[in-house]
Amino acid sequence: MKFQPEPSTAQTIRAYGPGWIGVDAEKITTSIILGSGGLRMTWPCARFEDLTPDHFAQLATLEAELIIFGSGVRNRFPPPAWLQPLMARRLGLETMDTPAACRTYNILASEGRNVVAALILEAPGP
């Protein structure tokens, strides 16, 4: 028996590296919100330290089963108070470093899940 992957119409992260990801045929170098249903928007935060409660309030307005937060080159957690808008809507948020978030997003998107990835793409240091 030969197994073939089911075709997926979800946006896929094809590659990633320090400060960039490849989505389908495009190289993206700014932080981004990416959804399996086609959502793609710039997320105005170049570093984890740039985040504010408003960034997470914005995520709470999205229609998704789960939001994956890629916190940059290492796993860092936002203050719990900032997650109140997400909890009020009963939206799950999983926090991990951005490379792990890319891999997790692809797996869930390929399963047909309504998933959103909010990814911080930090520019490489000098």
The per-residue pLDDT for range 24-61, each reduced to its tens digit, is: 889 999 999 999 999 999 999 999 999 999 999 999 99
In angstroms, the CA 47 to CA 123 distance is 8
Structure confidence by residue, pLDDT tens digits, 72-118:
999 999 999 999 999 999 999 999 999 999 999 999 999 999 999 99
Q: Report yes or no: 101 and 69 within 8 Å, Cβ to Cβ.
A: yes
Closest CA to 13 of 5, 23, 4: 23
